[in-house]
Amino acid sequence: MRRMTARPANAHQARLLTLLRDGGPNSRAQLGDQVDLSRSKLAVEVDRLPETGLVVADGLAASRGGRRSHNIRLNPELRFLGVDIGATSVDVAVTNAELETLGHLNQPMDVREGPVAVFEQVLAMAAKLRASGLAEGFDGAGIGVPGPVRFPEGIPVAPPIMPGWDGFPVREALSQELGCPVMVDNDVNLMAMGEQHAGVARTVADFLCVKIGTGIGCGIVVGGEVYRGTTGSAGDIGHIQAVPDGRPCACGNRGCLEAHFSGAALARDAVEAAQQGLSAELASRLETNGGLTAVDVAAAASAGDATALDLIREGGNRTGQVIAGLVSFFNPGLVVIGGGVTGLGHTLLAAIRTQVYRQSLPLATGNLPIVLGELGPTAGVIGGARLISDHLFSPA
C-alpha cells in the first residue's frame, strides 16, 4: 500500500521543501535564516508541512549556544524513480527525496522496439529495484526519452530515432502502471537538470549541456530553468549542418553534425578505418568483438593509436565548430559536455575547446568554462528525479 502525499499549500512551503531537498535535514532555526519570513509565520508553515506527508520530524539539532532546535527532514521513506531511456540502453535508478541515488540499473535495449516493449523492460527493472528492498513503492517518476516531447502532456512528438513512439502517451501510461505522478522530458534536458542539481552546473544560471551519444542534443538552461522551445524541440542540434555537402544523414539532408560525429558515426568510421588497414589496433579489436563501438575507439586512443586519435579530433573539431556558433548566439556561462562519448575524454574536450575559443568572440569566451559532465550516466536519472520533485514540491 502506497502512502499518499500532497502538494505544498503555498509558495512558502514549496520553498521550504526545496531547501530541505537541496540542503538535507535542517533545523527550524536554520531554515529561518534562509527564508525571509517572520518566526511566527515560519512556525505555522513548518507545523503544517508534515500534513503533506513529505516531511517528518527528525529529533533535536545540536545547540548553537542556547536552546536546541527541532530538526525536520524530508520523509526518508519517499522514493523517486529516475528513468533515462537512451537509443541503445536504459538507465533506471531509485533516489530518496534528497535525490541521492540508492540503486541504479543499466541495460542495453533498442528504443526502436517501441514504447510497449521498452516500458515492459523499465517496469521490470523498477520492480527489481523494489524487490531488492530499496523501495516499497514510488512517489513519483521522471522519464527521459531521446527525442522531443510535448512537455505539458508528456508525449513524444515526431522523434526521428524512435519510430513508433510518436504520440504515445508516456506520462499517462506510466502514471497508471507505477501508480504515481510522472513527468516526461527530453533526455538532454534531464541531463542538464542533473548536472545543475548535483554536478558541474550548480551555480550557473545560463548554460548549455551538450550530450553526445548515439545522437547529439543540447539542453538549454535560461535563468535556471530548462528552455524547451515552441514545440519542445529546442536543443536539437544533431541536424545542424556541420559540413557543407557532407555525408547523407538519416533525416534526408547532408552534412548534419550527427552524420559526422556521434556514437553511431564514430563506430562506423572506426570500422571503415580498420577495414582499410589504417589501424592495427582497431582491426584487432574489430576481429575480436565482431564490431566496434565508441568504447573501442576510446580504448584504442588511450593506447596511443593515431587513427583513433584522429577520428576523435576530427569529430571534436566538427562539434566544436557547431558549439562555437551556439556560444556566439547564446552567450552561456558554462558549456557541459556529456553523454556516451565522455569516455573519449580530454582528447575530445581539447578539440572542442580549441574550436570554440578560436571561433567565438573573446567577450563570449573570455570567462567560459567548457567541461565534461561530472555525473556520467547518473546525470540523466538524477535529472529525472529532480524533474518530478520540482513538480511535486510546487503548489498545485
Integer Cα distance of 382 and 375 in angstroms = 9
Q: State the nearest-atom distance from the C-beta of 395 to DNA, in Å.
A: 12
218 contributes a contact to a second copy by CB under 8 A: yes
Question: Residue 348's closest CA among 191, 201, 212, 207?
Answer: 212
Could you give the residue ranges of the DSSP H alpha helices within 165-222? 170-178, 187-198
| 220 binds a second copy per the rule CB under 8 A | yes
- Please, which residue, 45 or 258, has the CB nearer to a second copy? 258
Beta carbon of residue 251, minimum distance to a second copy (angstroms, whole number): 6
Pairing of strands 70-74, 26-27: antiparallel
Which of 229, 248, 291, 395 touches a second copy by CB under 8 A? 229
Burial class, 346, CB count within 10 angstroms (exposed 0-12 / middle 13-18 / buried 19+)? exposed
Residue 354 near a second copy by CB under 8 A: no
C-alpha grid cell, residue 156: 513524444
237, interface contact from DNA, a second copy, none, CB < 5-8 Å by kind: a second copy
Rg of the chain taking only CA atoms, in angstroms: 23
When CB distances are held under 5 to 8 angstroms depending on the partner's kind, the choice from DNA, a second copy, none that residue 66 binds is DNA
Q: How far is the CB of 39 from DNA (least distance, A)?
A: 4
Look at residue 217 and give its three-state secondary structure.
Answer: strand
Among positions 235, 373, 380, 384, the unique one binding a second copy when judged by CB under 8 A: 235
Contact positions toward DNA, by CB under 7 A? Answer: 10, 12, 27-29, 32, 36-41, 43, 47, 60, 63-70
Burial class (CB in 10 A: 0-12, 13-18, 19+), 258: buried
Could you tell me if 21 and 393 are in contact, meaning their C-beta atoms sit under 8 angstroms apart?
yes
Q: How far is the CB of 165 from DNA (least distance, A)?
A: 43
- Smallest gap from residue 119 Cβ to DNA (A): 42
* Distance from the first to the final alpha carbon of the chain: 24
Q: Does residue 234 interact with a second copy by CB under 8 A? A: yes
Please report, for residues 145, 296, 297, the alpha-carbon distance to residue 343 in angstroms, rounded to integers and kept in the order given. Answer: 22, 10, 9
Among a second copy, DNA, none, partner that 358 touches (CB below 5 to 8 angstroms by kind): a second copy
Quote the least distance from Cβ 49 to DNA, whole Å.
12
Total binding residues for a second copy by CB under 8 A? Answer: 47
Residues that bind a second copy (CB under 8 A): 148, 157-158, 160, 205-206, 218, 220, 222, 227-237, 239-241, 244, 251, 253, 321-322, 324-326, 328-333, 358-364, 366-368
